[in-house]
Chain A
Amino acid sequence: MEINKLIEQCKVGNAAAERELFQRYANKVFVLCRRYVRQKEEAYDLMQDCFIKLFNSLEKHDSNKGSFDGWMHKICTNLVLQNLRKKRRSISLTFPDEMPEPDDYLIQESFNEISTELLMSSIQELSEGYRMILNLYIFEGLTHDEIGDILGIATSTSRSQYARAKKLLKNKLQAHLVINNTTDERRLA
């Protein structure tokens, strides 16, 4: 069924349509939630909250103003951020000691060897501040100005924190690649 028809059916309370909508987008929303929180269970709860809010807000959705995907994405992101704010009143930015420069070439060349699950866990391992900025910039496609507004930080802070988050993520991925390569070399030996 076309998405707009599906949404119309959901608006009139068609349970089957709601289920279909859920099955279509549950995975996407769940992945979104997992990127923001470390615990899988917490992400699962968040996903359910997102769908409750989505179903409750469907009346407000106007297909002429934009795609459902974008609208849904925005609602879910807002809810996740709201939830994170609820637990903490301010974004805690952490500043680890000097990090080594990652080997971009190595990571880029070997990126396909890295599983998505590993990417996910690497993102989740970032501290909350880094994780949020990275998510908002990379996956939500926001500018640093917008991120600064949302998180209540300066634009320059968002920019520098993003740079550090990215560096940290690369280091994590590189470490994993090095370990894997070493293991492979040992196997060969």
Chain B
Amino acid sequence: MKEDWLKNKLNDRFDNFDSGLDLDQAWSDLDAKRNPPKKKRRLLFFWFGTGVVGMMLVGLFLMNQKKLVNSERLILGSSVEDSVISEKEEEFQKNDNINLPRAKNKAEDNLKEESTKVKERRNALTNNKKLILAEIDDQRPVGQDRSFEALSKSTLETVYTHTENHPVTGQNATSENEHLRSMEGDLSVTEFDSNVVLKEEGEPNKKESVVPLQSLSLLETLGNEANLFNSKLPRISIPLPRIDKQTKVKNKAATVDSKKPKLRDYYNGFGVSVAYGIHQRNLTMNFDVEHEFVEKRQNQERPLDVIEANAFYRRYFNSGIMAELGFGFQQTNFKFNFEETMIVSEEVEDGVTAIHSYPDGTEETIYGTVLETTTTLREYTYYQKYQQVNLRGMVGKSMRINQRLNFGVFTGLEYGVYSNARGVSFSASRDGAPLGSLADLGYRNVGTLNALMRLDVVTELGPRTQLAFSIFGKSMLNDMITEHAQDFQGQWYGDKRNYLMGQFSIVRVF
């Protein structure tokens, strides 16, 4: 029971020991530590930035979709003969050096431009409404009321006929009129030979006047004016022909602008990618001898692999230049193997302490308490997973190899933020002794800046879909410092990593 006296005395002594701690000061310090003035906002900024970029991308996408819908309503269903499309397709293919999108889409874009021109014309004419009304008045037959008020009381109906197919005659014109009226409010991009029929109210057929319209301008003017004063006019309907996608109206090819089609300034693409590869890192440190464990790591670790999954937005410019903005997830895996020698000593009461030899040749063994030392070799194996999110921006250049393949070169920067070190895992050492959690290493919210280089080989899966295989390398520009840098000033370690990966990506172009 000799041990007990020391244990008891020490416990008694320390139970009532006053360490001389200044409690008020200690509380103030604790309070300050519990409520730091401002938390680091690095991660907050990162997510905020990512959110803003994401919203911009979605907004851009939706805007493009809206434009497309409008243009489809006005244009896509118009009567462009297949032969014209084919002709334009050939022209596009001759000029298209970025391979996507296909000529048909560009023909649509060309028509879209035409629509814009028509709109501009219509707006210009709207601004000159008085002038145009006078023009209408001038064409009114003698005897009719020339005042605007009189016009508002009349029923103004327009009949469009295709010159070669629908001559304006009596009942035929009325029938056509009914058909077109049902589609009022829409705009045609093609020109028609049309007549305006002015009828006095109550006498639909007797005082019929036919005003020939030679150009689209007057036709549109009438439409605008009718819409403008719709509230005043009991029935002013200027039915402009809308040709739905399902409705084929044969127009002369000459009515479509035969100018060489122009490419859009840019195209948008959204894609996803997965990458898998190898990595390597260089540890940097300034630890003292107490951190021998860490110093050995560089020789003990075996880099395993790295995997990435990304989503990105890409913009294609006509010059073949591409800009890409993406974000994604990355996991880097390591394996560690190392050995540690543990020297364990134990007091043995019946150990041999000495052997005496006597002159007569006999020996006497003296037993007593001895310290027996054993050496144990510990073998550790454990794995590390570093998980992070990345935000990257790249620019690249596309070059055509042949009709089916493009070659792309990209370069850029990537900012990665390591998630909490909970992503780090480990296995126990082989002799069963627990190993400390590697979360203690303190990789938390650490930002890394990487330089990127990528070589793409691109092919098409469809008219708007690209598939690319890439060789992808990146290298860290800064050290990844652990939180030891914060906890123990003057002691830190970090690492720089290099990656080489193969990547598959698929992009949908809009």
Give A170 to B3 CA distance when docked, in angstroms: 11
Q: Given the complex, which residues of A lie within 8 Å of B434, measured CB to CB? A: 152
Interface string of B258-299 (1 = CB under 8 A from A): 000000000000000000000000000000001101100000
Give A110 to B285 CA distance when docked, in angstroms: 49
Distance in angstroms from B346 CB to nearest chain A CB is 4
B5 near A52 with CB under 8 A, answer no
Q: Tell me whether chain A's interface is mostly helix, strand or loop, or mixed.
A: helix
Chain B interface residue bracket vs A: 35 or more
Interface string of A38-58 (1 = CB under 8 A from B): 000000100110011001000
Query: Which residues in window 145-166 of A have CB below 8 A to B?
Result: 152-154, 156-157, 159-161, 163-164, 166
A93 near B11 with CB under 8 A, answer no
Query: Which residues in window 13-30 of B have CB below 8 A to A?
Result: 13-14, 17-19, 21, 23, 26-27, 29-30
Nearest opposing residue in chain A for B9, CB measure: A111
A160 near B345 with CB under 8 A, answer yes
Nearest opposing residue in chain A for B23, CB measure: A23
Q: Given the complex, which residues of A lie within 8 Å of B3, measured CB to CB? A: 166
Give A164 to B459 CA distance when docked, in angstroms: 74
A157 near B344 with CB under 8 A, answer yes
- A108 at interface by CB-CB < 8 Å: yes
Nearest opposing residue in chain A for B439, CB measure: A86
Give A6 to B29 CA distance when docked, in angstroms: 21
B6 near A170 with CB under 8 A, answer yes
User: Which A residues contact B (CB, under 8 angstroms)?
Assistant: 19, 22-23, 26-27, 30-31, 34-35, 44, 47-48, 51-52, 55, 82, 85-90, 93, 95, 104, 108, 111, 116, 119-120, 137-139, 152-154, 156-157, 159-161, 163-164, 166, 169-170
Q: Given the complex, which residues of B lie within 8 Å of A89, measured CB to CB? A: 293-294, 435-436
Closest 9 CB pairs of A and B: A152-B433, A89-B293, A160-B346, A86-B440, A85-B436, A157-B344, A116-B17, A138-B7, A23-B23
Known: A48-B29, A85-B436, A170-B6. 11 other contacts (CB 8 A): A22-B30, A27-B23, A48-B26, A51-B30, A86-B440, A88-B290, A111-B9, A119-B14, A138-B10, A160-B346, A169-B6
Interface string of B402-436 (1 = CB under 8 A from A): 00000000000000000000000000000001111
* Total A-B residue contacts, Cβ distance less than 8 Å: 105
**23 sampled A-B residue pairs with Cβ under 8 A:** A22-B26, A27-B21, A44-B29, A48-B29, A48-B30, A52-B30, A52-B33, A86-B440, A87-B290, A88-B293, A93-B345, A111-B9, A116-B17, A138-B10, A139-B11, A152-B434, A153-B342, A154-B344, A157-B346, A160-B346, A163-B347, A164-B347, A166-B6
B440 near A85 with CB under 8 A, answer yes
A31 near B30 with CB under 8 A, answer no
Q: Given the complex, which residues of A lie within 8 Å of B17, measured CB to CB? A: 27, 31, 116, 120
Distance in angstroms from B30 CB to nearest chain A CB is 5
Whether A156 contacts B346 in the complex (CB less than 8 A), given A22-B27, A138-B10, comes out as yes
Give A53 to B19 CA distance when docked, in angstroms: 21
Q: Tell me whether chain B's interface is mostly helix, strand or loop, or mixed.
A: helix
- B138 at interface by CB-CB < 8 Å: no
A93 near B342 with CB under 8 A, answer yes
Distance in angstroms from B378 CB to nearest chain A CB is 8
Query: Which residues in window 369-412 of B have CB below 8 A to A?
Result: 371, 373
Complex partner residue of A48 from B13, B33, B291, CB under 8 angstroms = B33
Q: Given the complex, which residues of A lie within 8 Å of B6, measured CB to CB? A: 138, 166, 169-170
Query: Which residues in window 355-380 of B have CB below 8 A to A?
Result: 371, 373
Distance in angstroms from A30 CB to nearest chain B CB is 5
- B149 at interface by CB-CB < 8 Å: no
B9 near A30 with CB under 8 A, answer no
Nearest opposing residue in chain B for A33, CB measure: B19
B346 near A27 with CB under 8 A, answer no
Distance in angstroms from B424 CB to nearest chain A CB is 14
Nearest opposing residue in chain B for A163, CB measure: B347
Give A163 to B294 CA distance when docked, in angstroms: 31
Q: Given the complex, which residues of B lie within 8 Å of A153, measured CB to CB? A: 342, 344, 433
Give A92 to B182 CA distance when docked, in angstroms: 93
Q: Given the complex, which residues of A lie within 8 Å of B34, measured CB to CB? A: 52, 55
Nearest opposing residue in chain B for A19, CB measure: B27
Distance in angstroms from A69 CB to nearest chain B CB is 11
A108 near B5 with CB under 8 A, answer yes
Nearest opposing residue in chain A for B32, CB measure: A48
Give A34 to B9 CA distance when docked, in angstroms: 18
Give A31 to B13 CA distance when docked, in angstroms: 11
Give A81 to B290 CA distance when docked, in angstroms: 16
